[in-house]
Amino acid sequence: MKMRPMLLCALAASLLAGCQNMDSGGLLSSGAGAFQAYTLSDEQVITLSDQACQEQDSKATIAAASSTYTQRLNKIANALGNNINGQAVNYKVYQTKDVNAFAMANGCIRVYSGLMDMMTDNEVEAVIGHEMGHVALGHVKKGMQVAMGTNALRVAAASAGGILGSLSQSDLGALGEQLVNAQFSQRQESEADDYSYELLRKRGIDPSGLVTSFEKLAKAEQGRQSSMFDDHPASEARAQHIRDRMTSDGLKPPAKQ
């Protein structure tokens, strides 16, 4: 259950009245920090995304420019375009067996080599399009507001400088992990699927990759080989939704795998 920002502030104030030994400045800062989290501007979201992405990059093994993974991703990036709603994007590959990909509000797009090993170029395009959809449709900003609201309550007692001034390296790491592993609602996931479908069509890319990527993920989920999309709508249902859209648009869906 989510608490409204003003309720958080009121809760902090009520605690002050009853707990003489508590740090009143810290609690007030905590309430103010939570409120600030829910009023983050687009500029603040991008600044925080810059910091969180840099922290994630510092902990990852990034594929070299000469790597076949990077060269392959560059080809995919050229097909998808270099911006999300006007925000310039940059792509990198994390060398790890994990199956995942993410995009942040600053255009930071990271694809895991484990996902690239599992999927064709067309399927990777579809997955990246889905992640771009979360940014373009404002889902990532909302996710950051929730993450920062929680983080503010945890760290603000040690700071009077507000959210942007209070995040340590470890806090940025925690924020980055929350963004990478963000759980969106089923409605948001469906919206991101549709965004990817429409982006692929707009860029002249076969949307079949959306169908087959979901089917591969469904098999991986059954064998527990992947944690990606664990909390998303069932992959088979998502694949069928795209099949239906393709049929409606006069396109031939791929054969079921």
Selecting among 131, 191, 215, 221, the annotated active-site residue is 131
d(CA 210, CA 127) in angstroms, rounded, equals 7
Measured CA to CA in angstroms, residue 66 lies from 74, 84, 93, 100, 171 at distances of 11, 26, 12, 22, 33
d(CA 41, CA 52) in angstroms, rounded, equals 16
d(CA 235, CA 157) in angstroms, rounded, equals 42
Exposure on the CB side of residue 117, measured as CA atoms within 13 A: 13
Contacts from 168-174 at CB under 8 Å and sequence distance 24+?
169/55, 172/51, 172/52, 172/55, 173/55, 173/56, 173/59
Residue 176 in contact with residue 52, Cβ under 8 Å? yes
191 is catalytic: no
* Catalytic annotation, residues: 131
